[in-house]
Structure 1
Amino acid sequence: MSTNEQINENISSENHFSIMINEIVDLIFKGVNKNEIDKVKQHVLDYFNSHNVNSKVIYNWLLNNQNTSDSIFLLGYFNCYGIGSTKDNEEAFSLFINALEQDHILAQYFAGKCYEFGKGIIKNEKLAFEYYEKVANKNYAVGQFKLGWFYDNGISVKKDLKMAVYWYEKAVNNGHLISMCNLGNLYRNGNGVEKDDKKAIELFKISAEGGYLGGIMMLGYCYDFGIGINIDEQKAVELYQKAANLGHNKAQYNLASKYKYGRGIEKDLDKAIYWYEQSAKQGHQKAQNKLKELRTIRKN
């Protein structure tokens, strides 16, 4: 191979890696913005498989090509989730800080996440809020959701339900499913906004249609208790079942109660016990109490 051919091959290889880096970062950007954070790693691994690329090869390339904010961020992400290397939260945090100095929006979000949960750095919810605020002000839905959540729960800031509504609404306008559900609950309870059951169920419906389990569960709850719609216990059971099957512990608890009392479905104590067990395994305290109660009844 001539020198020129070798140079051209190297350039082609560099371009190929650069394109992949851009595509992977875009994949993470979209997944995080939908709040599918737990699924994003698998999406990245699926990308490697579909492109027949070894994650270790990408990791090593990133180590030697820390010349863009995307490559710095992505190396941090790989360290954060143990992709192509062992997990290293301290190194991940350091890289996120380096990338955000170049105004990288995902690095700002993940630095906030590190501070919120104390990953790779001492927990500091005030700094987490500040990084999320930077992200939110760039019209990134997940940052807007985080600010809504912090105001909703008084995390590092004074609890302010009107500000929670403000930021949730911004995230909702950007299609954020969890924010839809959270805002729906604020409308349902009249917290930070005038009580409006119709608006609440409308938000729950959109959230549920998008596949968010909390939205599916809350839509079932509305049918169960006639919130913004006529009571339909069979429809409530159907929605609880859907969310319960996918692991939502409150839906599992509600479904168990339906089986226990035979409301909207035939009474079945065995199934009630089963679903209380599933909910209790996830730490639902009321489910644990109900489980003891039903087991006592069974013994007697």
Structure 2
Amino acid sequence: ILGYFNYYGIITSENNDKAFNLFINASEKNHTLAQNFVGLCYDHGYGTIKNEKLAFEYYEKAANNGNIGAVYNLGISYKNGIGVEKDYNKAFELLKQSAEEGHIMGLMMLGYCYDLGIGTKIDKQKAFKLYQKSADSGNMVAQNNLAVFFEKGNGITKDIDKAIYWYEKSAKQGYELAKNNLNKLQNY
């Protein structure tokens, strides 16, 4: 637990080096959340030198041990080629698994896959439903994506008022793309 406190700066100042070392120790004891955090540290260079291959290995280890956040991170790794060759089909399956387990970012990214046809055929209706579910849970990226659907009428009835509503919700959370989209919509 000290690793999380140091990682997020809870009750202590943020210390990524210390957090990384604590996560490594816990991960060696098969603590799946720590394994996922070791992957994040390697992925982003927090407390250690960035190493995408090791990030992928730790995500895979944690995912194989049942950590749903790691399943999501593994899906993103396959989608973006982080530490592994891009494989959109594997990415889709892993993101689908994380979404089915209720991972909010997994829901949003599964919607994104259906929206753009990543590892699956394009299905705007499924994308819309997944964005809606993730947006309702407070995900600012999904809120922006949902607003785009309402603004453009992507597979749904165009509704500018709903587009503004969702852009505003996302923008209030600090999502810059939503702020820009809202500004463009209101000024054109």
TM range (shorter): over 0.9
Which whole-Å CA distance do the structure 1 matches of 2:153 and 2:104 have between them? 24
2:120 maps to: 229
**What do the CA deviations read for 1:10-30 (whole angstroms, capped 9, x no partner)?**
xxxxxxxxxxxxxxxxxxxxx
RMSD (Å), alpha carbons: 1.0
**Kept after mapping to 2: 8 A contact 1:256/1:271:** yes
1:287 maps to: 178
**Kept after mapping to 2: 8 A contact 1:178/1:214:** no
**What do the CA deviations read for 1:219-247 (whole angstroms, capped 9, x no partner)?**
11110011111111111001100111111
Identify which of 240, 251, 259 aligns with 2:131. Answer: 240
Which whole-Å CA distance do the structure 2 matches of 1:121 and 1:283 have between them? 25
1:192 maps to: 83
1:251 maps to: 142
Provide TM-score, normalisation by structure 2.
Answer: 0.96
2:99 matches 1:208: yes
**What do the CA deviations read for 1:79-134 (whole angstroms, capped 9, x no partner)?**
xxxxxxxxxxxxxxxxxxxxxxxxxxxxxxx2112222333334321111111111
Moved over 6 A (4+): none
Q: Taking CA–CA contacts closer than 8 Å with sequence separation of 6 or more, which of the two structures ends up with the larger relative contact order?
A: 2
* Pair 268,122 (structure 1): closer, same or farther in 2 beyond 3 Å: closer
- The structure having more radius of gyration, on CA atoms, is 1
Provide TM-score, normalisation by structure 1.
Answer: 0.61
Query: Could you say what secondary structure the match of 1:201 adopts?
Result: helix
Identity among equivalent pairs (%): 49
Q: Figure out how many residues of one structure are paired with residues of the other and give that number.
A: 188
1:123 maps to: 14
Query: Could you say what secondary structure the match of 1:133 adopts?
Result: helix
1:162 maps to: 53
Which whole-Å CA distance do the structure 2 matches of 1:193 and 1:241 have between them? 31
Which whole-Å CA distance do the structure 1 matches of 2:153 and 2:46 have between them? 40
The one-letter amino acid of 1:216's match is: L
2:109 matches 1:218: yes
Query: Could you say what secondary structure the match of 2:34 adopts?
Result: helix
1:270 deviates by 0.5
Q: Unmatched 5+ residue regions in structure 2?
A: none
Which whole-Å CA distance do the structure 2 matches of 1:264 and 1:275 have between them? 17
